[in-house]
Amino acid sequence: MNNILEIIKKAENTHELTKEEIVILLKDDENRDELYRAADRVRKKYLGDEVHLRGLIEFSNICKRNCMYCGLRRDNKNLKRYRLKEDEIIELAKKAKSYGYQTVVLQSGEDDYYTVDKLKYIVREIKKFDIAITLSLGEKTYEEYKAYKEAGADRYLIRIETTDKKLYEDLDPGMSHENRKECLYNLGKLGYEVGSGCLVGLPNQTMESLADDILFFKEINADMLGVGPFIPNEDTPLGKEKTGDFHLSLKVTAIMRLLMVDINIPATTAMESLEPEGRSKALMAGANVVMPNVTEGEYRKLYALYPGKICVNDTPGHCRKCITLKINKIGRYVSDTKGFRKGNDREVV
């Protein structure tokens, strides 16, 4: 038996790999289907066949940051900006509940219009619908995170994008890698389900760096992890760079599942922007979550992180039906629970 199959077998049985072994799996294409199948078996063993849907509300595309890869960056003058009022956000969450979503993800650029009091009001009102809330609002202070938790937020998603300090600070001017990590630690201390993740295929990123990402996520015991291929946006300084590789993103997803058996891993929208049925393929390589967009109207187009984003012309109702059919087609079913991490006994109050 070849060495790579032995490594996959080790990962499936022990859920431990060295950095060197992860790099070998990331570089190998010959056995990638066996890697995906192993991740799928681990997903089935620990999590069953249910897929959790999270309704995504992208409520502002205004951002004070200037990240080199992101279409929402402050210096992008080609983007029409928008910001939803508090009650509009609450109404979208109410509709998401009516479509059957048990979780909403409130996501925005880093927009200081939304003060602590405004966000606490939004969270408190949405909690009245008996729905879990994930926030994805970027870097905040410990006190701010604490205030949102006390208002009823359950999860917080802040992708580190890369654990390579130099690469991070080159791509995120004016931002501190230490502070990004501190945010993740603070969220864990406060009892959030902590979400993070990485971009795959960034310029100057190495396989060793991706292996470090995976081991870092295991070390901090992240509860949910999203993996997205880098897709260059022409309105950013990285607009002419090469697009990230779909299968490398899928390999990162599969290895995460093999090493972190009970976490929640989304099949990301960016996967399907690169590859037909990309989300279904991710669901068959270890993922167990999908985050359909429940934002309405032109806002779906204007949250332009990267070009070629799927489903921007669909209605939230159509998206809900479409993703359910895709999930059923691969022999899985939509969960009717709030989808907390299985190894985590935290209940929604």
The predicted-structure confidence for 52-83, as pLDDT tens digits, reads as follows: 999 999 999 999 999 999 999 999 999 999 99
Query: Do 16 and 259 touch, CB atoms closer than 8 A?
Result: yes
For residue 347, is it within any domain? no
Please report the pLDDT score of residue 342 as a whole number.
78
What does the mean pLDDT of the chain come to?
A: 96
Average pLDDT over residues 145-166: 98
Average pLDDT over residues 15-27: 98
**Percent of the chain topping pLDDT 70:** 98
- Name the one residue in this structure whose structure tokens are 């990331």: 26
CATH number of domain containing 318: 3.20.20.70
pTM above 0.85, yes or no: yes
Average pLDDT over residues 108-116: 98
For residue 71, is it within any domain? yes
Token pair belonging to 131: 């729905």
Please report the pLDDT score of residue 150 as a whole number.
98
Average pLDDT over residues 199-221: 98
Domain encompassing residue 205: 3-334
For residue 222, is it within any domain? yes
Q: Give bridge partners of residue 161 from the DSSP assignment.
A: 198
For residue 348, is it within any domain? no
For residue 53, is it within any domain? yes
For residue 89, is it within any domain? yes
Please report the pLDDT score of residue 193 as a whole number.
98
Average pLDDT over residues 296-324: 93
* Phi, psi at 214, each rounded to 5°: -60, -45
For residue 343, is it within any domain? no
For residue 230, is it within any domain? yes
Domains in the chain: how many in total? Answer: 1
Query: Do 148 and 119 touch, CB atoms closer than 8 A?
Result: yes
pLDDT class for 344, splitting at 50, 70, 90? low
Rg (CA), the chain: 19
Average pLDDT over residues 268-291: 97
- Distance between CA atoms of 20 and 134, rounded to whole angstroms? 34
Burial class (CB in 10 A: 0-12, 13-18, 19+), 16: exposed
- Distance between CA atoms of 165 and 258, rounded to whole angstroms? 26
Average pLDDT over residues 310-337: 95
Residue 347 has pLDDT above 80, yes or no: no
Per DSSP, the three-state class of 330 is coil
Please report the pLDDT score of residue 181 as a whole number.
98
